[in-house]
């Protein structure tokens, strides 16, 4: 699904990622943990195609070179990034935006665009699963949403767009335990043998609810240790300093 080889990325001449290697197969869920400033969010940004980074190394998604694909095309090809801090977009109605995005991705994948009525049915079903208030969907996109509402809105988009590769960038931050459970359930119910996940997180807490197949520790722009979910538990005990 995703193959990252010797990936380096710098911004304003500062090297953030210094040769990252990860290989994710279909159906796998990988967790990336690491201290502040280790490059976790940069990795998420680079995978989504955000401009401003100087990138070198190999970045392959479904066998294609990602470096040559624009942000929107990556989304259309099934890469989804759930933001750590979803952007507030005034004037844009959440429901209309979701429909536009949904049909845009469907069209690019050669599927039939859905009319408002059929889409609203899907939207209602998915938002109910996440326990979202429907009124929220009538509001402006992320504007005035609480931290929890913003994250739920990200997971809602993930469920609607049905991506092949999901990158969750610190989706657990700022969530209370109930919201965390709902978000985790949202992820778990989306897991199948075709879909892959890359879960970026600070804390082991999220991994109590979402069980990873592999855990990588990112420190100073490099993967310093990889292992199974046991590694996350060990980290919680020893801290990042204790792993070397």
Which phi and psi angles does 111 have, rounded to 5°?
Answer: -95, 165
Structure tokens belonging to residue 161? 């767009």
Could you give the string, one character per residue 159-188, with x where binding to another protein holds by CB under 8 A and - elsewhere? Answer: --x---------------------------
Q: Provide the greatest CA pair distance for the chain.
A: 56
- State in angstroms the smallest separation of the CB of 83 from another protein: 7
The reply to whether 197 sits near another protein by the rule CB under 8 A is no
Of residues 133-162, which lie at the interface with another protein (CB under 8 A)? 140, 157, 161
Q: Is 128 in the site for another protein (CB under 8 A)?
A: no
**Site for another protein contains 81 (CB under 8 A):** yes
Measured between its terminal Cα atoms, the distance across the chain in Å is 30
Token digits of residue 56: 């070198």
Structure tokens at 38: 């280790």
CA distances from 81 to 93, 113, 169, 199 (A): 20, 22, 7, 10
User: Minimal distance in Å, beta carbon 159 to another protein?
Assistant: 13
Considering beta carbons, is residue 21 or 140 the nearer one to another protein? 140
Q: Judged by CB under 8 A, does residue 87 bind another protein? A: yes
Task: Map residues 41-80 to x or -, x wherever contact with another protein holds by CB under 8 A.
Answer: -------xxxx------------------xxx-xxx---x
CA distance 136 to 3: 37
In DSSP terms, 3 is beta-bridged to: 23, 60
The residues pairing with 29 across neighbouring beta strands, listed in sequence order, are 197
Binding site for another protein (CB under 8 A): 48-51, 70-72, 74-76, 80-81, 83, 86-87, 89-92, 97, 100-101, 104-105, 108, 140, 157, 161
């Amino acid at each position: 699904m995703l193959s990252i080889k010797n990936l380096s990325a710098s911004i304003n001449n500062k090297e953030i990622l210094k040769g990252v290697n990860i290989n994710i197969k279909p159906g796998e869920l990988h967790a990336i943990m690491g201290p502040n400033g280790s490059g976790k969010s940069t990795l998420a940004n680079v995978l989504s195609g955000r401009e401003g980074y100087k990138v070198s190394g190999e970045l392959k998604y479904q066998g294609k070179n990602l470096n040559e694909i624009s942000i929107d095309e990556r989304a259309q090809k099934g890469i989804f990034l759930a933001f750590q801090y979803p952007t507030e977009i005034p004037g844009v109605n959440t429901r209309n935006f979701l429909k536009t995005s949904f049909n845009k991705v469907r069209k690019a994948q050669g599927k039939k665009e859905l009319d408002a009525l059929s889409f609203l049915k899907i939207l209602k079903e998915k938002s109910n699963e996440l326990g979202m208030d429907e009124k929220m969907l009538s509001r402006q996109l992320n504007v005035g949403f609480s931290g929890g509402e913003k994250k739920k809105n990200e997971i809602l988009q993930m469920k609607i767009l049905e991506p092949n590769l999901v990158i969750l960038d610190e989706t657990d931050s700022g969530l209370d335990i109930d919201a965390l459970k709902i978000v985790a359930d949202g992820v778990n119910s989306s897991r199948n043998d075709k879909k892959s996940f890359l879960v970026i997180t600070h804390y082991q807490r999220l991994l109590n609810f979402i069980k990873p197949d592999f855990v990588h520790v990112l420190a100073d722009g490099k993967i310093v240790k990889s292992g199974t979910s046991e590694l996350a538990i060990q980290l919680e005990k020893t801290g990042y300093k204790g792993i070397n």
